């Protein structure tokens, strides 16, 4: 894709039409999680990774599998457990017999066996059940789209997305994700418990004889084109300035930080948080039928873009302060300026 890519009206219309079909297809299979589906699409069409948090049984794994089916992408699932090793994720070099070469009969050679990370969509299921050493095996792939094993660096397939699920951190047998890895997730999406009417629909669609299968909506090449189209959405200077103010207001040492942030935050969001705000706001604008980013887009994506990038201090943890409370205070403070 050229660096100065400028989508025409046809490309923009195709983006909107394909995104609507994809969202509708996901809603057909995954019931009662409309907000989660929309936020997942924001990250996907911005080219970023996603962390899904919620208690077991809410359809997180089903959502990721359905997404891979609808996009006809290569899918791999890694079930994270305490005994999982980094080589189980990235692959390893093994010694093999050169049976296919008669001249080298009996000789041995090193052969690389790629791990499940060599896929387009990688589901890191219950990622916080593995040790931090194993969790960190995803870091290079998430940031560089490459994997280094031995003395070689190998390119991962494109497009490449890590969609990780985790149980709440206070549950037994879990390890907190390192801050460096958390920061590499574009969005953190909270998966809430379905409402009563949604539970009724889940019964109708899952315990009968009807078998639902996602229809193909797009492929990897089309997805890459949509990502490029979203990145080309213009952002006005005052929107960029607002995003910068939002980010700075999450830092307790800044003059414009609200009182709650000064009192309960240890570290604010990193520059990756600013990138997440802008890129996902561009996607949201297109999903809402606009080719320009508004303040409403910025504020709508602030929660999934920033909640995992705020590090609470002891007082914040002791008082049970949530990142959502702090982000609300930040938005109110910035809007009041």
Span 256-308, pLDDT tens digits: 889 999 999 999 999 999 999 999 999 999 999 888 999 999 999 999 999 99
Q: Are 8 and 74 part of one and the same domain?
A: yes
Q: Are 180 and 322 part of one and the same domain?
A: no
Q: Are 75 and 182 part of one and the same domain?
A: yes
- Contact call for residues 162 and 49 (beta carbons, < 8 A): yes
Largest CA distance in the chain: 78
- Contact call for residues 261 and 250 (beta carbons, < 8 A): yes
Position 22 in a domain: yes
Q: Are 47 and 167 part of one and the same domain?
A: yes
Position 24 in a domain: yes
Lowest mean pLDDT among 51-55, 93-97, 169-173: 169-173
Position 191 in a domain: yes
Position 267 in a domain: yes
Q: Are 222 and 300 part of one and the same domain?
A: no
Measure Cα distances from 11 to 222, 223, 230, 235, 288 in Å.
10, 12, 10, 18, 16
Q: What is the CATH number of the domain that holds 28?
A: 3.40.50.300
DSSP run (H or E) holding 51: strand 49-53
**Per-residue pLDDT for 173 more than 80?**
no
Cα separation of the two ends of the chain: 40
Q: What torsion do the CA atoms of 327, 278, 125, 201 make, to the nearest 10 degrees?
A: 80
Position 248 in a domain: yes
- Contact call for residues 12 and 230 (beta carbons, < 8 A): no
Q: Are 295 and 316 part of one and the same domain?
A: yes
Q: Report d(CA 155, CA 115) in Å as an integer.
A: 13
Q: Are 198 and 227 part of one and the same domain?
A: yes
CB atoms within 10 A of CB 151: 6
Q: Are 53 and 130 part of one and the same domain?
A: yes
Q: Which residues contact 110 (CB under 8 A, 6 or more apart)?
A: 93, 94, 95, 96
Asked if residue 159 has a cis previous peptide bond (ω within 30° of 0), the answer is yes
Q: Report d(CA 305, CA 317) in Å as an integer.
A: 20
Q: What is the CATH number of the domain that holds 326?
A: 1.10.8.80
Reported as a single tens digit per residue, the pLDDT across 133-154 is: 888 888 888 888 888 887 788 8
Q: Are 187 and 279 part of one and the same domain?
A: no
State mean pLDDT over 107-123: 84
Domain that holds residue 202: 1-82+121-134+158-208+216-232
For residue 127, count CB atoms less than 10 angstroms from its CB and return exposed for 0-12, middle for 13-18, buried for 19 or more. Answer: buried
Q: Report d(CA 68, CA 72) in Å as an integer.
A: 6
Q: Are 324 and 237 part of one and the same domain?
A: yes
Position 165 in a domain: yes
The predicted pLDDT at position 171 comes to: 63
Q: How many structural domains comprise the chain?
A: 2
Question: Residue 163 gets which letter from DSSP?
Answer: E
DSSP run (H or E) holding 312: strand 311-312
Q: Report d(CA 198, CA 33) in Å as an integer.
A: 9
Q: Are 316 and 274 part of one and the same domain?
A: yes
Q: Are 243 and 197 part of one and the same domain?
A: no
Position 66 in a domain: yes
Position 29 in a domain: yes
Lowest mean pLDDT among 15-24, 51-60, 80-89: 51-60
């Amino acid at each position: 894709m050229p660096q100065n890519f400028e989508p025409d009206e046809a490309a923009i219309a195709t983006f909107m039409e394909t995104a609507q079909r994809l969202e509708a297809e996901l809603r057909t299979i995954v019931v009662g999680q409309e907000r989660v589906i929309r936020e997942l699409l924001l990250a996907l069409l911005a080219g970023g990774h996603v962390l899904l948090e919620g208690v077991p049984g809410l359809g997180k794994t089903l959502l990721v599998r359905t997404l891979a089916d609808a996009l006809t992408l290569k899918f791999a699932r890694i079930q994270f457990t305490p005994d999982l090793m980094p080589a189980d994720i990235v692959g390893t070099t093994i010694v093999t017999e050169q049976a296919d070469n008669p001249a080298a009969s009996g000789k041995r050679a090193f052969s690389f066996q790629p791990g499940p990370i060599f896929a387009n969509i990688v589901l890191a299921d219950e990622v916080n059940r593995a040790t931090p050493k194993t969790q960190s095996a995803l870091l290079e792939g998430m940031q560089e789209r490459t994997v280094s094993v031995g003395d070689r660096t190998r390119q991962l397939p494109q497009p490449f997305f890590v969609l990780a699920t985790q149980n709440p951190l206070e549950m037994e047998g879990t390890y907190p994700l390192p801050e460096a890895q958390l920061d590499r997730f574009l969005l953190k999406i909270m998966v809430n418990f379905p409402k009563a009417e949604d539970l009724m629909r889940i019964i109708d669609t899952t315990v009968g004889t009807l078998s639902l299968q996602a229809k193909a909506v797009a492929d990897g090449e089309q997805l890459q084109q949509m990502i490029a189209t979203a990145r080309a959405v213009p952002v006005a200077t005052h929107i960029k300035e607002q995003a910068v103010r939002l980010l700075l207001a999450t830092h307790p040492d800044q003059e414009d930080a609200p009182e709650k942030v000064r009192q309960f935050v240890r570290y604010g969001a990193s520059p990756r948080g600013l990138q997440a705000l802008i890129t996902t706001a561009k996607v949201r604008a297109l999903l809402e039928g606009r080719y320009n980013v508004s303040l409403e887009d910025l504020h709508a994506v602030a929660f999934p873009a920033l909640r995992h990038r705020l590090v609470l201090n002891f007082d914040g943890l002791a008082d049970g302060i949530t990142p959502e409370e702090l982000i609300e205070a930040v938005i109110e403070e910035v809007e009041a300026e």
